[in-house]
Each structure stands twice: as C-alpha cells, then as structure tokens.
Structure 1
C-alpha cells in the first residue's frame, strides 16, 4: 500500500517485530495478542478503545489481553491511547500527525486527546520533546513505569505529564522523590471536582481519588503541579534551557521601577 510492504498477519513477517501497534476492533485484539505470543514480540501498543472505560464487557476484554501478555512476558502500553512518539529516533507509533521537534522534555499523558492538543501547540510554537507517551487505560505499563524510564533517559532533562489517577501511591512517591532531585517533574492532575472525577472515570476507567491526597503526594515527591498547559510549557522550557540550581540559596528578583529594584537588592544583602 502506497509503496509499503504489507502482510496478512504477524506470522507472515520474516523477522520478529520489536514493537506491534494494534488498532483493530476491541473484540479481536486478543487474536492479535495471541499472534504476538507466537512470533515472539515483547512490546505492544494498543491504540484501540472499547475496554474498561466502556463498562463490564470492555473490562473483561481488557483482563483477557492482560492475562495473555503476562503469561508471555509482553509489555503493553494502552489500550485506549494515542501511542508513543520519539522525535530523535524518528518514531511515530501513534495516530498523531507530524513529528514534533526533538527536545529535552519527556511527556506522559493518560489522555490521548490532550496529548494530541499538546502536539498541535508544540508544533505551532516550535517546542521540542524527547519522548511522548500516551498510557490510556494503563492495563499494564503505568505512570510509574514511564516516569522511571524518563528518569533514566539521557535525552530527557524535564518530565511533564497529565494524569487522571495514580496506580500505586507509595511506589509513585518513592520513585518520583528520587527522580525529581535531578529532573523536575511537572504534572497536571484532573478529577479535582465531582464533575472532573466522573469525566475521568468515563474517559479511561480511572478512579480519581481524593484531591487532598494528591496534593500531599505531589508535595512529598517534589512534583510541581501545573494548572494549565501554558503554565506547564513555561516551566518545561525554563527547566530544559537552564541548569538546575546547585542549592536552595537562589533568589530571582523582578521588580520595577529601578528604585524599588535597588531597595529590594539592598534588603536581600542584609539577610
């Protein structure tokens, strides 16, 4: 098709695929997963929706593919996600549009739609990324897995993201606290209101949890919580283009007019 070699199924491919991106209807995703087991693929992205976010039948389908994956040692990103993008590697394993520029910010999102909007904004403003990962329903790989991977990624200086829920709060705090000492973590979190929690549940089947609990988690882990994409982009660009402070004794003073500015500097010198 369009000059590209195509195959009727995975078993017809001469080499073992390192990564399989699944976009078939939800009811036959398990069939493709069984093919992945047969050929020896160990990494799968499931873009298809129609799983636990739609109710009992979808939840059963999701549990079925997870069981297949775990028995074969396959890792899954998704289902119900946008996919994965790595600009520096020229990888676009998603249904997104043009690749963004390569940059130093790694981004994870539980919402594929939000990640698509972020891609549009980034391309319009020349903002680059190291990796972009949409985790969707988090049937297997979750936010902790991605944050750990970005924490170890040499191309990533800043970690940013959007979450609707956190799978394991204690493990998340432990890892995020360690990583944020070297790489800033900037997160947006939805579900802060009753309407937001309901939207999160219907969107990716997530339980939003207590807003107070998330505030405590973020503070303890050293995570900067952002209230908008613009705020998050501003933070990310600043951190990506400047070295981290060597210690806590750093102050920025931006005051006008000059007379007030001078007075503030004199007061600071007396501290």
Structure 2
C-alpha cells in the first residue's frame, strides 16, 4: 500500500515487509545497540536478506560487513541506523544516494535535546523529503512485523504473532505492550516506535493500519499530536473499520513537561483529546494495564450485539462483585427467562441462585458449568458472558491431601484443561464474547495459550465489555453527535482560529452599542482604589453573575438562537468571543458534553498591557468562572461547567468543559 505524504508516496511494504534490511552500526561488541539489534533481526528469522554496515569489521555475527551502505551490492529497502547522532545525517545522505525506501533512526540526541540536535533533525527531514525516503524516528526503538518475521528492535523481544498493531511514541511502553499482549494470548501484527516523528507522523501510521489486512486492532500510546486535523481524519478511517485503543500521556503539567523532553511532543489539552476521541470513536484507556486489557478483549472476542451480560460463578460474593462492576460500567445484568431458570434448576443443586448471576455454590461438576454457559448464550437473552473460575490457588492444598506433588499437579492440570476447553468451546460455538475472571496463575497462562480473554478482577472484565459495547454503538452510528466543529484544531498547540458563526462588523457594532455601556473597567478601578482588590472583586463577581445572563439572553434574541442544549450554549458564547476578538476552538459538541478551548483572551491581554498583572489571576479564575457558569445556567439550568486550565494561572490555554446533568 502507498500513502501519499508531502507530494510523494510512502512505500509501506518496504517498512513492514521488506525484502532486504541493512543495519548501519551493526557490531560484534556485546552490549552495543548495534550488536543487540542486528542479532535480534537474525534470531527472529527475518525472511529477507540482512546486511551489516560497519567500516571497522569484516563480518558481523558471521555476515559479511560493508564499509558503507553504498557498497552493498543489492538494493536495500530498509535501513536501521544505530550510529552516534553526529554520524546520522551523513548515513541518511548515503541512504538517499543508495535509493533506500525507509530509514529507522534508533539514535537519540535530536530535537528532544534542543540546540544542535534540533538542527540535525531538520536536516534529516530535508534529505528524506527530497529523496523520497520514509523516516521513522529519530529517538526510537525500532519496528516489528509478524508477516515478514522482522524484529528490528533495540531489545531482544520476540512477541507472539497476532492481529494487534501498535504505534508508540514511547519505545519502552510499546515494548512492554508487545510483551504483555504475548503473555495474555493476544499477540502482535505490527509495531512501530515512532520516536520524535520528525517526518512520518502518528496520523500516517494510522492511515496505513486502517487498511492493513494484517491489523484487526490498533493500539497507540500518544504523548502529543502534531497535526490535529490529520490525526482525526486518520482516526476516523481506523474506527470505521476496526477498534482504535489509545493511552494518552502528558495529562498533567508534569507529564506535559516530561513529554516535551522525551520526544519533543506538545501534549495538548486532555479535555480536547477526550472530546476528539469521543467524536472519532477512539477507545481511551486510563493506564497501561487497561490498555492491555482492552487490546486483549477486542482482539480475542467478537463485538457484543448488545449490553446484556450473563454471569456464571461458583461463589456468591464473586457474583455480587461482578454484577456491581457491570452496572457501574453502564451494562445490564440480564434477567433470565423463566424457561432458562427452570432448565438450570433441573440439573443444578436446589440451592443455586435461581437468577443472574448464576451462582452454582461451589459445585465441582465441570459439566454443569459448561452446560450453563451454553444455556445462557443460547437461550438466556445475553449478549456477553462473564465466567468466574479458580479465584485462588488450591494446588498446595491438593498436594497436602493426596501426599504427592506430581499427583496433585496432574489433578490440577486436568481441572485447568477442562475449564479452558469448556470456555473455548462455547466461544467457538456461539460467536459471542466470553470473558473469564480468574486468579490462579497457571490457569491464566493456559487461557492465554488457548486464546481466551482472561482477567484478574470483575471490574477489569466489565470495563472491557463496556468499551466494546460503546464501540459497537459508535460503528452503528448511534452515538448521537451534533458536532459544530470536528476538525481536530484543538489537539495541537498554536493552531489557527476556529469559530462557529461569522458576524459582520456592522452586526457586531450594533450589538456592542446596545450591550456594553457598563463594561469599561473604570468603576472597578475606582472601587479597588478606595476599598481594595478583594472588595472590588466581590462586587465585580456579583455584577457579572447578573450581566452574564443579560448578555446570553441578548445574543439569543438578537441572533435568533433557540434551544436549551449544548449546541445553543456553544453558539452563544462563540458569538461573543468572535465579536471581542478571542482566539479559540470548539473541537466538539456532543449531546451531553462540549469543550471550548481559548488560546488568546483580549481581556487578559488588555490587563497586562495596562500594567494590571495583579488582577489577571482573579479575572481568569473567579470572575471568568462566574460569567460562564451563569451563562450556561441561563441557557439550561442543568448545564454544569468544569475547568482545569487557566491562562491567568500560567497555563498555555483556558478550557471550558460543559456537561448536562443526567436525570
């Protein structure tokens, strides 16, 4: 597949399924990155030709070495570069002369280091753009592709083959995800550590994975988005076809600073990123554990047709916790038909729970459990099944009873295999999601080997089901979006003005004449001079609590805006900001949530120019909150305001998150 970028095409086959790979900096010295990476490619069984490039060696690990990439006699599609930063530009220039398709630059010390490193990165991009080379990195940990057995990785990792493709702006987190997915029975199709993304960006990888037949689930760790519009367009292409699960880094001030020094990323507003995710169907994870859980669930299970959950357990407490977890995640614990209850009663102990959760009260009859799974999926009206098995390890107790470790382990293995076969069997028969909750480590490993999604707590399983239901709803087009803007403008810093309505200068002047006679700030300074800032601020807040309502009503009347939803609120505020010259974005407006982000506030600029810096925090905090909370209540008393970022407190933007209270 070829994807256009900057007027040329990226030859993706040469990155993930190359016929030849060269490593510039390949080495025989143990511990060197060039030695580890080259030996990992060889040990991984790469299907094509491998060429070490090292002017100081005749051979590397038994392979003939070449002094430069230009001396390799055959064409080379992919080159991995591990030499020090000062030699990278020269190496890439030689790759351009050779006609290489892709360069993966492992080396760090570029834009993330600042100064000369930033200049060298710019030169790398210039060379690659002019020669048509695709550039991964710099400052990355490599690429992996199951289809070609390509393990061009900085660490010797050999993941299980699967259907999940990973893009990670952190190499170590990406490697951890590959390892975790392999241990959980899922596996990896492709992996790219994107590093600084000097040339090829997150959105470019997404666009490829959207159409890649080897990829069924896309997973990403994102520190920052460099082109919000392109990211959202690419994300939509992915989510129309397959799940896209994302963990966002740089969610706090400390994380944002760390992202900038790590991969030179601008983290952007978390509120805006969440809003963009909701609009485009991205499934957000809160941490690495949840990211792995979601990837396992989506890759090993079909999507549920609905949100009705069946629960089968051998312990009542686990049934209670699982039912709680499901309801807390917005799922429905299905009510079993009377016919199903009667069928189960005909075979289960008379003291079973007679409902859902189906509690078989510590029964050791494995056939009964398997039969119940089948009945619930066939006749119970459930869309997904959670089964609880072996919540604790009893192997030590069994050994003590039978007196032989070998006999005890043999007994336990028979039990474990029976559980795994039962679950795998009903999954295959019914093509519905079946998630296991277990704690016994060997059972979890056997579940992974059989490709059964297993979790260590009911809540972890319930969260995955809820996200699967939400994604299924999104794919069907039932999300209920009423977007005013959805172009990703708020995802990256420094972008242009995004508005809602266009207002003529004449209309704005007419509105100002009728509405702004009392807002000149003179009275505030007079009160401050006589009674102090605190008293002036108190009076100002009281004035604005009324004046905000007047402004909102005037705008709705004068511009004929009707309704009490978030779209109405956003339009009215945006009109005011347009007239006053604010620079802002409205990245998304949904039925129950809207986010507005301000980059430039003329009020703060005026205060600073007038030398009234001491007033800025109060104006941006207390007064601004009063204004826009009362404004929202004027449109609809059920609308609430949440703010997490204020320019007056030193943040790079102000955010306004509006939600409608649920009944």
Query: Which of 256, 261, 264 is the equivalent residue of 2:356?
Result: 261
Match of 1:106 in 2: 165
How big is the shift at 1:217? Answer: 1.1
Match of 1:31 in 2: 90
Query: Which of 91, 104, 119 is the equivalent residue of 2:178?
Result: 119
Equivalent-residue separation in structure 2 for 1:14 and 1:178 (angstroms) = 40
Q: Which TM-score applies when normalising by structure 2?
A: 0.38
Query: Which of 223, 246, 258 is the equivalent residue of 1:199?
Result: 258
Query: Which of 133, 149, 172 is the equivalent residue of 1:74?
Result: 133
Equivalent-residue separation in structure 2 for 1:120 and 1:177 (angstroms) = 28
Q: Which has the larger radius of gyration?
A: 2
Whether the 8 Å CA contact 2:180–2:292 is kept in 1: the answer is no
In structure 2, list runs of 5 or more residues that go unmatched.
1-59, 312-318, 321-352, 358-379, 382-663
Query: Which of 208, 213, 218 is the equivalent residue of 2:272?
Result: 213
Q: Residue 108 of structure 1: SS of its match in structure 2?
A: strand
2:160 matches 1:96: no
How big is the shift at 1:125? Answer: 4.1
Q: Which TM-score applies when normalising by structure 1?
A: 0.91
Whether the 8 Å CA contact 2:138–2:196 is kept in 1: the answer is yes
Whether the 8 Å CA contact 1:100–1:127 is kept in 2: the answer is no
Match of 1:157 in 2: 216
How big is the shift at 1:178? Answer: 2.8
How big is the shift at 1:121? Answer: 3.0
Q: Give per-residue Cα distances to partners, 1:172-191, cap 9 Å, x unaligned.
A: 11221232122000000011
Match of 2:104 in 1: 45
Bigger CA drift: 209-218 or 249-258? 249-258
Equivalent-residue separation in structure 2 for 1:124 and 1:46 (angstroms) = 28
Match of 2:41 in 1: none
Whether the 8 Å CA contact 1:169–1:217 is kept in 2: the answer is no
Q: CA RMSD in A?
A: 2.1
Match of 1:252 in 2: 308
How big is the shift at 1:126? Answer: 4.4
2:321 matches 1:226: no
Equivalent-residue separation in structure 1 for 2:302 and 2:201 (angstroms) = 29
Whether the 8 Å CA contact 2:178–2:188 is kept in 1: the answer is no
2:120 matches 1:61: yes
Whether the 8 Å CA contact 2:184–2:296 is kept in 1: the answer is no
How big is the shift at 1:235? Answer: 1.4
Q: Give per-residue Cα distances to partners, 1:145-200, cap 9 Å, x unaligned.
A: 11111111111110001000112112211221232122000000011100000110
Match of 1:173 in 2: 232
Q: Number of matched residues?
A: 263
How big is the shift at 1:44? Answer: 0.7
| Bigger relative CO (Cα 8 Å, ≥ 6 apart) | 1
